[in-house]
Amino acid sequence: MSGIHESAGGLILGIESSCDETAAAVVRGGSEVLANVVASQMTLHANYGGVVPELASREHLRNIVPVVRAAMAEAGIGFEDLDAIAVTEGPGLAGALLVGITYAKALALGVGKPLVAVNHLEGHIHAVLMERTGSREQGVGSREQDAPLLALVVSGGHTHLYLAEETEGVWRYRNVGRTVDDAAGEAFDKVAKLLGLGYPGGPWMDALAVHGNPKAVRFNFAEIKRRGEKGKSESQRTRRDGESTEGDEGALSFDFSFSGIKTAVLRYVEGHGMRERVTARRAALVEMLREEPGLRAADALRLRPELFEAETLDLIASFQAAVVGNLMRQTFAAAEAFGARGIVVSGGVAANAELRRRFVEESARRGLGVAFPSVGMSTDNAAMIAGAGWSKFLAGEFAGEGLVAVPQLRLG
């Protein structure tokens, strides 16, 4: 790292408001997390089964000041101690992003500190990089050994593969794969919803899948791919089931498609007369969640085991195994094609237990390093924004007063 702009403190305040979490964090030197405060709107949006943009903006407005204050208090510092303020520029919901950006700009101006704009996706990648700085515990060697690094960012809004490389402290990314329709987390959420489970669906599916047989239902990604082709442009109609054949290494060769499997689950539910059971489960869980909004899948299963019969648990386990299998095929095929030595997996879906276990096993088999963020750093937070902001700060990449929200911001 260049260290040109390095100061004694190296304190960055990170601010994140791209979706349904208002978050602020203080990070020293790009990796030492002094405070990481997240105000989640999950229970608010759970009533609607998905994020409602207008409500999200309103909640961010309500939460931004107390969340930043809480982070500063927890870190035990004042604004004058900061070296810079890093804020998420995009991608995300326009109104939600705007709250964080407007606040960060005003604060930076008010306290006379530089402002750094961070891509949310780069933040997810740095959630892993910052945690493994100075640590070898996660099975990934030094950055030099891993280069180039392949990052799978897999969340509710994104499923992307990036080749990431650092040169003298500056990170560069190349987008080598992306979803052509739903993100993997979105598929988890939609399938959970159609099975009458709680929101967000990922953690519910994760907890219930261990009780089912992952081989019970076969989901054929190749078939789903054909169905999903309708309406796609010619350029999108490239291979996306991950079978590394014919050596086509075009930019879209490592793409993903998750809308087909969601339809396949719906057909299965209807074809197997499961609809009534879904309705009964949904009604019972809505009632339970009303009484206890923080209710988790494991509690629901313990309290009302009759709501989760074997056929549903098998379907959940099979869906999860298929999605994880597809993520793995694409990622390892890309790692091989681009000669990546290390893999990082981040974003909300990286919290999934089966995904972690299978990525670790396969990486070990192939002699690759693999790393994940700690579970709390997998989902949206501001420590990852401050972490990614640090290398930009060191490189002198500051945002001007004209910084605006970029909802469709790309990386690489």
Binding-site ranges for ligand KG4 (CB under 6 A)? 19, 155-157, 185, 188-189, 200-203, 206, 347-349, 351-352, 379-380
Query: CA 314 to CA 205: how far, in whole Å?
Result: 11
Q: How many residues bind Zn ion (CB under 5 A)?
A: 2
Closer of 84 and 192 to ligand KG4 (Cβ): 192
Nearer to ligand KG4, 82 or 355 (CB): 355
Token pair belonging to 366: 């192939």
Measured between alpha carbons, how far is residue 200 from residues 176, 197, 205, 270, 394 in Å? 28, 9, 9, 23, 37
| Among Zn ion, ligand KG4, none, residue 203 binds (CB under 5-8 Å by kind) | ligand KG4
Of the residues 17, 41, 63, 155, which one makes contact with Zn ion according to CB under 5 A: 155
Structure tokens at 99: 């709250």
Given phi > 0 = left and psi -120 to 50 = alpha, else beta, which region is 398? Answer: beta
- For 121, residues 6+ apart whose C-beta sits below 8 A from its C-beta are 91, 153, 158, 160, 162, 411
The listed partner (Zn ion, ligand KG4, none) that binds 241, CB under 5 to 8 Å by sort, is none
Q: Using CB distances below 5 to 8 A depending on partner kind, what does residue 100 bind out of Zn ion, ligand KG4, none?
A: none
Contacted entry of Zn ion, ligand KG4, none for residue 389, CB cut-off 5 to 8 Å set by kind: none
Q: For 150-190, give the DSSP string.
A: EEEEESSS-EEEEEEEEETTEEEEEEEEEBSS--HHHHHHH
Stretch that binds Zn ion, among 21-29, 60-68, 74-82, 375-383 (CB under 5 A): 375-383
Which CA distances in Å does 384 have to 14, 24, 66, 283, 338?
8, 10, 19, 38, 26
Kindly indicate which of the ranges 155-163, 279-287, 334-342, 363-371 contains the residues binding Zn ion, using the contact rule CB under 5 A: 155-163
Helix (H, G, I), strand (E, B) or coil at 87: strand
Tell the residue number behind the tokens 């949206």, with chain if given.
Answer: 380
Least distance in angstroms from the C-beta of 38 to Zn ion: 12
Nearer to ligand KG4, 82 or 125 (CB): 125
Give 186 or 255: the residue with its C-beta nearer to Zn ion: 186
Minimum distance of ligand KG4 from residue 167's CB (angstroms): 27
**Is-contact 260 225, C-beta < 8 A?**
yes
Q: How far is the CB of 188 from ligand KG4 (least distance, A)?
A: 4
Q: Which is nearer to ligand KG4, 148 or 156 (CB)?
A: 156
Nearer to Zn ion, 210 or 406 (CB): 406
> Toward Zn ion, which CB reaches closer, 41 or 155?
155
Q: How far is the CB of 246 from ligand KG4 (least distance, A)?
A: 32
Report angle CA 84, 117, 187 to the nearest 5 degrees: 130
- Please, what is the minimum distance in Å from the beta carbon of residue 117 to Zn ion? 16
Binds 369, which of ligand KG4, Zn ion, none (CB < 5 to 8 A, cut-off by type)? none
**3-state DSSP assignment of residue 144:** helix
Q: Give 71 or 351: the residue with its C-beta nearer to ligand KG4.
A: 351
Query: Helices (H), strands (E): how many in the chain?
Result: 15, 10
Q: Dihedral, CA atoms, 170, 18, 375, 337, nearest 10 degrees? A: -50
CB of 149 to ligand KG4, least distance (A): 19
Out of 186, 326, 380, 390, the residue judged to bind Zn ion by CB under 5 A: 380
Q: How far apart are CA 115 and CA 128, in angstroms?
A: 23
Query: Residue 156 binds which one of Zn ion, ligand KG4, none, with CB within 5 to 8 A depending on kind?
Result: ligand KG4
- Residue 85 contact among ligand KG4, Zn ion, none, beta carbon within 5 to 8 Å by kind: none
Q: From CA 312, how far away is CA 289, in angstroms rounded?
A: 20
Residue 123 binds which of ligand KG4, Zn ion, none (CB < 5-8 A, kind-dependent): none
- Residue 177 or 200 having the CB closest to ligand KG4: 200
Q: How far apart are CA 234 and CA 352, in angstroms?
A: 33
The C-alpha atoms of residue 253 and residue 242 are separated, in whole angstroms, by 8
Minimum separation from the CB atom of position 17 to ligand KG4 (A): 12
Beta-sheet strand order (sheet of 21-28): 32-40, 21-28, 11-16, 84-90, 115-119
Q: Which is nearer to Zn ion, 187 or 285 (CB)?
A: 187
> Which parts of this chain interact with Zn ion (CB under 5 A)?
155, 380
